[in-house]
Amino acid sequence: MATLPNPLPTLAADPSGRSLGLRLPLGTLTDATDEGPWHEPLLWYAGQPASTGNWSALGTPAARAGLLPVLVDVGGSQGGPEDWELMPGETSYPGDHDAEEVLAEYWEENAEDELAPDAEDAGGHDRAPVLAPFGRAWPGLAPAAARLTADPDTRAAQVADSLTGGPRSWFKEPRLALVPARRSADIPAAIGWSGPLNYEDDVARLCAVLRSWEDRFGIRVVALGFDTLVVSVAAPPTTPEQAEAVAAEHFAFCPDTVLQDGPDTLRAYAEDLVGEDTWSFWWD
């Protein structure tokens, strides 16, 4: 993957980050991958759990130094990032992929599974209603939001705070991490995140979709777990029709969100997307 100059090696000699214009707490530099140590650190994360305000206090100055903030969960059963089997050596560049082509391919594969003649749920019922109001054919990208309801970086800070002791405390032990990346959507690819490995072995293809969501909906990658991704949304859909179009993209992007972790139909899933400022995804 094409990368910017990495500021993280500076932190090995200067853990406080002062030479980068930062004031960092004690933390950990991670270079562990599925094939052994990487040639440079992939990310830094704080030694203490994140708390309200950390994102704003460290994220803005870190971005000026070429490092973007993201929360990482170190309290799950799979441990922290050094135990996630990161795969930077097998990750391409997000800009080399077209978001609509990626989503169309995923949609066709997933729709084929759902609309197969023998596709039934545990109760023996026909699965076709799962994709309503759509069918086997890819419905196309959802239109871009007409306007932002918040500044994307401000919204990201709000969502980050909600994940660190607020109403959305989904992670066991979130820590603030810093990643060398051009844009927030590239963070998973920059570290070679392998969370969706059972679904996609090149996370850069998913990052191409995240880039498109950055452009159309003002998303930011806010948090990563071993197999979980959370993004903030500065321009969520405001009508049921818009939400259904976005739901189709979510189904293509991460079918488990709808089929295993959601209400089991696109139409019902879409109802929860109207005005929602946080999108979360989980891959089995």
CA distances from 99 to 151, 181, 224, 249, 277 (A): 23, 19, 21, 10, 21
Query: For residue 139, which amino acid is it?
Result: P
Query: For residue 153, which amino acid is it?
Result: D
pTM: 0.93
Dump the DSSP string for 190-239: HHT--TTTTT-S-HHHHHHHHHHHHHHH-EEEEEE-SSEEEEEESS---S
- Tell me the C-alpha distance between 29 and 23, whole Å: 15
Q: What is the pLDDT along the chain (284 residues), one digit of tens a residue?
A: 545 789 999 999 999 999 999 999 999 999 999 999 999 999 999 999 999 999 999 988 999 999 999 999 998 889 999 999 999 999 999 999 999 999 999 999 988 877 644 444 444 444 557 888 898 899 999 999 988 889 999 999 999 999 987 666 678 899 999 999 999 999 999 999 999 999 999 999 999 999 999 999 999 999 999 999 999 999 999 999 999 999 999 999 999 888 776 667 899 999 999 999 999 999 98
Note the pLDDT of residue 2.
Answer: 44
- Tell me the C-alpha distance between 69 and 25, whole Å: 14
Note the pLDDT of residue 117.
Answer: 47
Assess whether the previous peptide bond of 196 is cis (omega < 30° from 0). no
Note the pLDDT of residue 166.
Answer: 65
- Tell me the C-alpha distance between 199 and 215, whole Å: 24
Note the pLDDT of residue 6.
Answer: 94
Bridge-partner residues for 32, per DSSP? 37
Note the pLDDT of residue 119.
Answer: 47
Buried residues in 167-196 as b, exposed as e (16+ CB within 10 A): ebeebeebbbbbbbbbbbbbbbbbbbbbbb
List phi, psi (to 5°) of 169: -85, 70
